[in-house]
Amino acid sequence: MFQIHCPHCGATREEEEFSYAGEAYIPRPANPEEATEAEWGDYLFMRKNTRGWFWEQWQHTAGCRKVFAVKRNTVSYEIAGTWTLAAGKELYLKESEA
């Protein structure tokens, strides 16, 4: 059990108020008409499933119902921070470049 801070309504609540919404920032094929089967398969099904620090999405289901980004360690379950999807994406992209 952990507590999650919702960046939209500003509340820190127990995990049970939230729903898990999987890996964050999976890019959709830029040109869907021309994407191959392999590219579609990759987009739809393949996952990073990272062991360690991981960018993921949670939804505040029992609160404001908005989806946001969480950076969480999948081994220690420690949370580094939560951001709106837009704010988190900048950080995420900066990290992926590094």
Partner 1 sequence: MANRYSLWSLLKNGLKHNESWQPAWRSPQAKPRYDVIIVGGGGHGLATAYYLAKNHGVKNVAVLEKGYLGGGNTARNTTIVRSNYLWDEAAQLYEHAMKLWEGLSLDLNFNVMFSQRGVMNLGHTLQDMRDIERRVNANNLNGIDGVVLSPKEIQDIVPLMDISAKTRYPVMGASYQPRGGVARHDAVAWGFARGASELGVDIIEQCEVIDMIIEDGRIKGVKTTKGDIFADRVGCVAAGNSTPLAKMAGVRLPLESHPLQAFVSESMKPCLDTVVMSNAVHGYVSQSDKGELVIGAGIDSYLGYGQRGSPHVIEHTAAAIIELFPSFSRVRMNRQWGGIVDVAPDACPIISKTKVKGLYFNCGWGTGGFKATPGSGYVFAHTIANDEAHPLNKAFALDRFNTGHLIDEHGAAGVAH
Q: Which residues make up the interface to partner 1 (CB under 8 A)?
A: 1-2, 15-16, 19-20, 22-23, 37-38, 40-42, 44-51, 54, 56, 72, 74-77
Taking the complex as a whole, the smallest distance from the CB of residue 26 to partner 1 amounts, in Å, to: 12
50 vs 84, which CB is nearer to partner 1?
A: 50
Beta bridge partners of 33: none
Per the listing, tokens 């470049």 go with: 97
Nearer to partner 1, 42 or 89 (CB): 42
- Residues 69/24, Cβ–Cβ less than 8 Å: yes
To the nearest whole angstrom, how small is the minimum distance from the Cβ of residue 30 to partner 1?
Answer: 19
The nearest distance, CB 46 to partner 1, in angstroms, is 4
